[in-house]
Amino acid sequence: MGRNERAGSKPVFLVPFLAALSGSCGLAYEIILARLFSNYFGDNFLMSGIILSGVFFGVAFGAWQSGRFSWSLAGIEITIGLYAFGMVTAFSYWGFAIVSLGAAPLVNATKLILLLGLPSFLIGTCVPLFSAYARNSAQPDGAVFTRIYGLYNLGAFLSLLVIEFALIRHAGLQVTGYVIAGLNLMIGAGLLWSRAAPPLSRPVEKAAPYVWRLLMALFLASLASGVFQLFVLRLSFSVFGPLNENFAITLASAIAGIALGAWIALRGRIVFQDVLLMISAALLIFLVFVPAFIDVWGRVRDASSSDTFELVAKVVLLGGFPLPVFILFGSLVPLAARAHPGDPVALSGPLLAVSSFGNGAGVLVMYCLLHPYLPLPMIAVVLVGLSASAWLLAVGKRPRLATMLGAACIGATLIFAGVRNWPGVELLLGYRVLASREQLDHGLKTYRSSDTYRAFDQSASVVSFNDGTQALLFNGYRSLTFGPNSKSELHEVTVGATPAMFSGRTGTALVLGLGTGITAGATARIFDHTRVVEINPAIFEIPKHFSSENRGIMTRGSAEIILDDGISMLMQDDHVYDAIVNTVTSPRYYSASKLYTRDFYDIVKTRLADHGVYSGWFDLTIDQDGISIMLNTLEASFEHCRYFVLSSSYFNAVCSDAPLIYRSTTALGDRLAGQGFDEMFRKYGFPDGFGRTMSALEVSFSDGFFARNSAILNTLDLPAIEFVVARQPDKHRTGEILAQTILANIEFQRKSSFGNRQWRANCRTISRMSQLAFKGC
């Protein structure tokens, strides 16, 4: 009995079922490895570009070469599983050691390419091989590939939801990786048990000129697909916030589009050329309806009654709005297979290779050519042009003049309407403003002008308003607001200067995050040499707008400005610092959350000199759970921490393994002499100057003052804070809790004062800084 006959004795649904499971593993690795590698190699544009495009290129090469492995599918699945076990284990225990070996950026980029290459290549072989293995079923050849392709992506879609919204949140990255790796091993065992094998392949027919036009059209359309995915991601950051959760929803929508597109290709009567034309129309409609999409989200947020309702609404809106376009893109490969006169199963590898390569090229085109130079509505116009060009290429003949003129008129009208009505100002105001109709209306009424800078996949803007305020935004996240009624400048200076109160020396300092340059400028005035690390290249244009406030940080001789990821920078050399200042944005921002993990703090401690200190801030608008997690993580990492009130939502933390003893008034005065710190504090209404004001602002978050309702730590493996900040906090409740905490500290000072009235002065200082009123001050 031959191998194919033995395979036929097993259930006919087994291979399709295993294909769906394989799809669930394939996409899971994209999520797991992307998180794993970005945690350790960094989130800078080079590493992000390699991760996003490298997966596509690896899959493309694997699909192209899949015919060479026709009898090896079980071995491939087992190899993927074993590789996943190895990678997850290695990085979970020795990730930073792996990165620190030859830690130069290009060396790490090469490591990342090699680490991504093998699993991406192996995953790329799976759909063509499963299609070949499933050919023994009773279905006609034309349906086999489309059915397997759809089931594979259906499994991928379901696994993405389970991983992002359940497994990682409750079990962590390591356990999730082991679960998926185990599933791969089960798939391999199932294939061995079934003795599944492909039948002898029929020879592929010699390619005709039309076939090459079809492949070129598929490549152009796939390139447009890759650009569109990043387009939707950029839009989602501005509307919903730069969260990993939104990346997952966008990816889920794209994968669901492939699964549904395959089903439509299987059931419908549409043809490849028609879909290309429909994509152009769908992109135009998408462009026109973006303002309505934003308006609906604002109304949903205003009516939101719970976190669950808000999450479901976001999944429906963010996943559903681009879904029709993703469905059309998803149908292209099955329709191209059907349009070709040869064997669809044998052609599945080359077609998937062309599609994946086009998607990877689209990522690079968006990174390097489109996003840095064009606003989003013009990128949408480019997408329409790409899909229309693909249609003309696939048709292979010139359409009638009347048809061309009619299509051009309709397209031009929709483009004009879309570009003219594009909500450019709304998107500049930040996602939290968009979520409130009241704040949005106020922002639109007071908006005056903006300066926007883009580099690779990053953006940064300074937005000016009629009331004299300025806001700093990057990638849709509103970071800081400066103005007549704001103390942001004072807060920024404070975070950079507080290390001077405790550090043993003032030799070298490292500042993570450039932003306006105000914090780095404050640190550079105190320490002999200051290194400033910034991950976003667009941010380098921002400090010139605040040159007086940051004391010319970009041209200061004692300051060194470096473009890199903070963790990568710490791992590249053995420099030790007298102070490390973390001024990166709130953990609400997806790439910033890892700088609030125990893993990060453990690295920081190895880079601090004797009696060196860590200074950072944390956002107190992240709900009580979030505050508890942040405090737990800091205090589990450092032996000593002190906390200072900067506002009702903004505290400064100074930590070290050495005791944090205040420098004497004389020693601190010598360190700060002539640098303008005391003068700035007096300008903001604190006549005692920097040192005495800061000591008055200290509060305790010990159990007697703040009830922690979570014992969880924030780690790279289980990024708990990321999932807390993704939900809308109860700001009123959080404000009450913080006010009670501060009041408890003041009351403790009063009771232990023994007639000393200093507690009352401290109370007034805290009240003035936090803008919270306390009775009895």
Taking alpha carbons only, the member of 165, 147, 158 closest to residue 183 is 158
Domain boundary among the residues 454, 482, 510 is at 482
SS3 state at 586: coil
Residue scoring higher pLDDT (415 or 445): 445
Tokens at 176, concatenated: 């999730």
Mode of pairing for the β-strands spanning 650-656 and 608-619: antiparallel
Report the share of the chain in percent with pLDDT over 70. Answer: 92
Residues 596 and 579 in one domain: yes
- What CATH number does residue 69 fall under? 1.20.1250.20
Q: Does residue 699 fall inside a structural domain?
A: yes
> CA-CA distance, 120 to 752, in Å (whole number)?
64
Please say if the pLDDT value at position 207 is more than 50. Answer: no
102 vs 75, 524, 570, 571, 605, CA distance in Å? 33, 29, 13, 10, 21
Residues 33 and 95 in one domain: yes
Q: Does residue 367 fall inside a structural domain?
A: yes
Q: Cα-Cα-Cα-Cα dihedral of 412, 448, 464, 429, to 10°?
A: -50
Q: Tell me what pLDDT residue 205 has.
A: 45
Tokens at 48, concatenated: 């992000």
Residue scoring higher pLDDT (138 or 272): 272
> CA-CA distance, 578 to 693, in Å (whole number)?
23
| b/e burial code for range 546-583 (CB count within 10 A of at least 16 → b) | beebbbebbebeebebebbbbbbbbbbeeeebbbbbbb
As beta bridge partners, residue 529 has 508
The band of 402, judged by pLDDT with boundaries at 50, 70 and 90, is low
Report the share of the chain in percent with pLDDT over 90. Answer: 51
Q: Tell me what pLDDT residue 606 has.
A: 93
Tokens at 92, concatenated: 């979970």
Specify the length of the chain in residues: 777
Taking alpha carbons only, the member of 85, 197, 212 closest to residue 130 is 197
Q: Does residue 255 fall inside a structural domain?
A: no
**Amino acid identity for residue 633 in this structure:** T
> CA-CA distance, 175 to 84, in Å (whole number)?
11
- Specify the number of domains making up the chain: 4
Q: Is the dihedral of CA 44, 46, 52, 54 positive or negative?
A: negative
Helix or strand (DSSP H, E) at 513: none
Residues 280 and 345 in one domain: yes
Q: Tell me what pLDDT residue 321 has.
A: 96
The band of 756, judged by pLDDT with boundaries at 50, 70 and 90, is low
Domain boundary among the residues 422, 437, 470 is at 422
Q: Does residue 252 fall inside a structural domain?
A: no
**pLDDT tens digits along 155-174:** 999 999 999 889 998 999 99
Q: Does residue 775 fall inside a structural domain?
A: no
Q: Tell me what pLDDT residue 519 has.
A: 96
Tokens at 30, concatenated: 């994209």
C-beta neighbour count of 721 within 10 angstroms: 28
Q: What is the pTM of this model?
A: 0.90
- What CATH number does residue 714 fall under? 3.40.50.150
The band of 63, judged by pLDDT with boundaries at 50, 70 and 90, is very high
The band of 538, judged by pLDDT with boundaries at 50, 70 and 90, is very high
Q: Tell me what pLDDT residue 586 has.
A: 78
Please say if the pLDDT value at position 605 is more than 70. Answer: yes
As beta bridge partners, residue 482 has 470
Q: Tell me what pLDDT residue 703 has.
A: 74
Owning domain of residue 453: 425-482
The arithmetic mean of pLDDT across residues 305-310, rounded, is 78
Residue scoring higher pLDDT (332 or 247): 332
> CA-CA distance, 84 to 473, in Å (whole number)?
38
**pLDDT tens digits along 442-463:** 999 999 999 999 998 889 999 9
Residues 332 and 317 in one domain: yes
Q: Does residue 282 fall inside a structural domain?
A: yes
Residues 39 and 137 in one domain: yes
Q: Does residue 254 fall inside a structural domain?
A: no
Residues 430 and 418 in one domain: no
Show Cβ contacts of residue 516 under 8 Å, excluding neighbours closer than 6 positions: 472, 480, 482, 492, 542, 543, 545, 546, 549, 550
Please say if the pLDDT value at position 200 is more than 60. Answer: no
Q: Is the dihedral of CA 148, 150, 154, 160 positive or negative?
A: positive
Residues 184 and 275 in one domain: no
Residues 388 and 452 in one domain: no
Q: Does residue 640 fall inside a structural domain?
A: yes
The band of 58, judged by pLDDT with boundaries at 50, 70 and 90, is very high
Please say if the pLDDT value at position 3 is more than 80. Answer: no
Residues 577 and 472 in one domain: no
Residues 606 and 744 in one domain: yes
Residues 518 and 531 in one domain: yes
Q: Tell me what pLDDT residue 179 has.
A: 95
Residues 19 and 69 in one domain: yes
Instruction: Please state the three-class secondary structure of 414-432 as a single string.
Output: HHHHHHHCCCHHHHHCCHH
Contact 656, 608 (CB under 8 A): yes
Please say if the pLDDT value at position 201 is more than 60. Answer: no
Q: Tell me what pLDDT residue 9 has.
A: 47
What is the distance in angstroms between the CA of the first residue and the CA of the last residue of the chain?
Answer: 93
